[in-house]
Amino acid sequence: MNYLLNISIVIIFLANQSNAILCIGCTSDGGNNPYCEGEFSLTAPTDKYVITNCSAVMTHCYVQYIDEKTTGGMARWNRNCCNMNNENDSSCRGVEHDLVEGIYEKWTKRCTTDLCNTVNPEGGSGGDGEGGGVIIADGKNSAGFVSGYPMAMVGSLLFSWILCI
């Protein structure tokens, strides 16, 4: 019986880990990492970015470009994970284009597939690199519920029950 319990725990652990999204992680402030700016390419030197295995809580990847007018137009680029379910996560929940006259202009794109945050947020293509716009609806993401822990638990219990018969 301990053998079945160990198998069940391993299945639950592995299924729960599969919910994470992979995102490009890099920054460029004032041009100090040109590989992170504009359209991103995975052919960039590997010391200029990381591939972040985001936690299951982080629901999206994002790319953000900020043109800071108060610093003479200094450009800031950020790519990483964000959490749409956190109302304080402005990288995920903010508007796609924001302009505060004389202060800054900011463009942000979000996406939900692995390594999707390679786009230039100033452009017209969506965050998935397929063209078109990105529509983000607030609300609970139920994908983790269907594919994560509860489904693994049911599958594990069913597997244990079948072996015991």
Q: What is the CATH number of the domain that holds 77?
A: 2.10.60
- Is there a single domain that holds both residue 81 and residue 37? yes
> Which whole-number Å values give the CA distances from 100 to 69, 76, 103, 104, in the listed order?
9, 16, 5, 5
Which pLDDT tens digit goes with each residue over 69-95? 888 879 999 999 999 999 999 888 889
How many domains does the chain fold into?
2
- Is there a single domain that holds both residue 52 and residue 38? yes
> Which whole-number Å values give the CA distances from 156 to 3, 17, 78, 117, in the listed order?
12, 15, 40, 35
pLDDT of residue 124: 57
- Is there a single domain that holds both residue 1 and residue 41? no
- Is there a single domain that holds both residue 129 and residue 161? no
- Is there a single domain that holds both residue 8 and residue 56? no
Amino acid found at 130? E
Q: Which domain holds residue 28?
A: 21-139
Among 30, 148, 154, 139, smallest CA distance to 84 is for 139
pLDDT of residue 18: 53
- Is there a single domain that holds both residue 112 and residue 162? no
Residue 21 in this model has a pLDDT that exceeds 50:
yes
- Is there a single domain that holds both residue 40 and residue 114? yes
Handedness of CA 91, 25, 35, 42 (dihedral sign): negative
Q: What is the pTM of this model?
A: 0.65
Cα 45 off chain centre by: 21
